[in-house]
Structure 1
Amino acid sequence: MPLSFDLFWSFRSPYSYLATPRLRQLAETWDVTINVRPVYPIAVRIPGFFKTVNPQWPPYLLTDTARIAEFENMPYAWPSPDPIVMDIKTGEVPADQPYIHRLTRLGVAAAQAGHGMAFLYEVSRIIFGGTKGWNEGTHLADAVARAGFDLADLDKKIEADPTAYEKIIEENEAAQKTAGHWGVPLMVFEGEPFFGQDRIDLLVWRMKQKGLAKRA
């Protein structure tokens, strides 16, 4: 049987976006299954997080993610609109969030259908790839279609039982915490956590020790 690992991933994380093409390539090259497990961004998972964060971190994050994108030759811009509505100056995150719940539930639905990586790749590309108003017009529907889904069908499935999808997200977040890290992207292989887009090569190295083989 092929090896597998869990991928904890957020639709508001630029590092998750930057890791996604390499993770997709990993799954195409190696005989491994990626269990896509979407979680809510830290702004939602940890109330008040951005009120206490070191003020030097956000500027560094913007600098770091921009140069990684340049290095990887990937389109990149901070999302417009931001998947998380918040007051940047105060760090206040209101309870009413118009985007992130739908996006995360859609990611769960795609993962359940067995095409989670394709969904993450296509949708994150319009969110972080410079598409202004990614939530308007047909941008999202077109991205979802490229991943092999019909957006209206996914929305209808989720609306029939939103609580079930929230339960899965809660289970994903609990498993992420149990794995030993709070951040994304987080890859967990046989209980061992690998945090960050710069740990993919280390993950492959570890899986090779366990018999990882290339796809035929």
Structure 2
Amino acid sequence: MTLKADLYFSFRSPYSYLSVGRYRAMAEEYDVDIDLRPVYPLAIRQPDFFERNHPNWLGYTLRDMLRVAQFHRIPFGAPRPDPIIQNVMTREIASGQPYIRRVTRMGQAAARRGKGLAFAAEAGRMIWGGQENWHEGDHLANALRTAGLDPDEIEAEVAEHPDVLDIEIGDNQASLEAAGHWGVPTLVFEGEPFFGQDRIEMVRWRMEQKGLTKR
């Protein structure tokens, strides 16, 4: 029996990126369908989030994400540009956010077609894997194509129906909170949330209890 799970994911979250390739590998090896549920990052949902954190939070997070990438041998680098437009000095979040809105809407359009996990992994590698100017040229189109999607079709949907996609993204955010968490990456399996890139082995353990088998 094929198991089902939902992965709540942000394209601005380094830990989402550090988890998505491993979740994709799990879905390819085991009889489980993991549906991507893109959400906007906390910088959009809660613009004052970073101002409320402990002063040590940023330094520790930077150190930790680098060692996680090294440990798992995942290509990793600071996004160029950051998916979020933000004043580095004041931490103020700009009102207009074309990069994160475009790629998140693409993620939702991909999820509609059952290709969300694949696109998130490919686009995540562009954003966090060192691709400069990932938002320009054919970079995202290539990520869509590699994920098995038609770039022209997705781009048209994002351009013509942004409000519809945003409603669905908002529904994802509401579902994440209803499941018992607010952050990403969070995988929800049979109503149980597993938050963080360090919960993947525990997710598999729980799924094995429910009859997880290899494909």
Please tell me the TM-score bracket, short chain as reference: over 0.9
Q: Tell me, in whole angstroms, the C-alpha distance in 2 between the residues paired with 1:86 and 1:48.
A: 12
**Distance apart, 1:157 and its partner CA:** 1.5
Aligned twin of 1:126: 126
Aligned twin of 1:181: 181
State the identity %.
Answer: 51
Aligned twin of 1:32: 32
Structure 2, unaligned runs of 5 or more: none
Q: Tell me, in whole angstroms, the C-alpha distance in 1 between the residues paired with 2:164 and 2:149.
A: 20
State whether residues 106 and 154 of structure 2, in contact with CA within 8 Å, keep that contact through their aligned partners in structure 1.
yes
Aligned twin of 1:71: 71
* Structure 2 counterparts to residues 158-177 of structure 1, below 5 A: 158-177=158-177
Q: Tell me, in whole angstroms, the C-alpha distance in 1 between the residues paired with 2:18 and 2:163.
A: 30
1:158–1:135: structure 2 CA closer, same or farther, 3 Å change rule? closer
State whether residues 115 and 149 of structure 2, in contact with CA within 8 Å, keep that contact through their aligned partners in structure 1.
no
Q: Which runs of 4+ in 1 moved over 4 A?
A: none
State whether residues 7 and 186 of structure 1, in contact with CA within 8 Å, keep that contact through their aligned partners in structure 2.
yes
Aligned twin of 1:210: 210
Q: Give the stretch that moved more between structures: 111-120 or 144-153.
A: 144-153
* Structure 2 counterparts to residues 100-139 of structure 1, below 5 A: 100-139=100-139
**Distance apart, 1:47 and its partner CA:** 2.5
Output the TM-score relative to the length of structure 2. Answer: 0.96
Give the SS at the match of 2:157.
helix
**Distance apart, 1:139 and its partner CA:** 1.8
Partner AA of 2:113 in structure 1 = A
**Distance apart, 1:182 and its partner CA:** 1.2
**Distance apart, 1:64 and its partner CA:** 0.6
Aligned twin of 2:9: 9
Q: Tell me, in whole angstroms, the C-alpha distance in 2 between the residues paired with 1:122 and 1:161.
A: 23
Give the SS at the match of 1:99.
helix
Structure 1, unaligned runs of 5 or more: none
Q: Give the stretch that moved more between structures: 114-123 or 145-154.
A: 145-154
Q: Tell me, in whole angstroms, the C-alpha distance in 2 between the residues paired with 1:167 and 1:136.
A: 26
Deviations 1:132-188 (A, max 9, x none): 111122222222211122323211122222221011001000000111111110001
- Give RMSD over aligned pairs: 1.1
Q: How many aligned positions are there? A: 215
Give the SS at the match of 1:182.
coil
Output the TM-score relative to the length of structure 1. Answer: 0.96
